[in-house]
Structure 1
């Protein structure tokens, strides 16, 4: 994968190539051997085979895969799972009362 930072005029500011184990947030990205936090510009994550020059086009931007690497909200997931568990337990108790 590669990270491309670019400005509002689509001019490339920086490229980090060969990044592995990517995790993205709203204004941050981390990978196996690095991270950037507090990003104040546009950024995209692209497959290695995508060629990037001095500017990024809409075609290149549309190949962005950063949403595939979003940081998981474990607290929310845990709350959702606990709610499902409680609902399941309630359903089991209701079924046992019918027997």
Structure 2
């Protein structure tokens, strides 16, 4: 389970949101399987933790260092599309090669 922890300049926790599932972060917008938050102001972290955090507590530097936001970027769809097209081309070429081999084998067997 992930926790989104928003905190102020003195590291005082303003809010905690429990998050499950796949999480993506784009600037001040956070999206996950069951919801999203847009327009987050100030500092926030997303950590993987079962520990209890509540508003008013202080978040320590060691907890802030565990922030996972940088690993939760949305997928680059243009890059994924290019990779998929390359894979399709590769598979089509293999399929054509297999077809040609089968035809050659058939011709050999039939004495053509």
TM-score relative to the length of structure 1 = 0.68
2:71 maps to 1:71: no
Per-residue deviation at 1:48? 2.0
Q: Does structure 2 retain, via aligned residues, the 8 Å contact 1:3–1:44?
A: yes
Which string of whole-angstrom CA distances, capped at 9 and with x for unpartnered residues, describes residues 16-74 of structure 1? 11432111011110111111111111111111235535011110000111111112343
Q: Does structure 2 retain, via aligned residues, the 8 Å contact 1:20–1:31?
A: yes
RMSD: 2.2
Matched with 1:24 is: 25
Larger Rg: 2
Matched with 1:6 is: 7
- Report matched runs for 1:9-88 at 5 Å: 9-52=10-53, 54-75=57-78, 77=79, 81=82
Distance 2:20 2:43 in 1: 18
Three-state SS of the structure 2 residue aligned to 1:17 is: strand
Three-state SS of the structure 1 residue aligned to 2:46 is: strand
Q: Does structure 2 retain, via aligned residues, the 8 Å contact 1:25–1:71?
A: yes
Question: Paired residues, what number?
Answer: 81
Q: Which runs of 5 or more residues in structure 1 are unaligned?
A: 86-99
Per the alignment, do residues 51 and 60 of structure 1 end up closer, same or farther by CA in structure 2, a change over 3 Å counting? farther
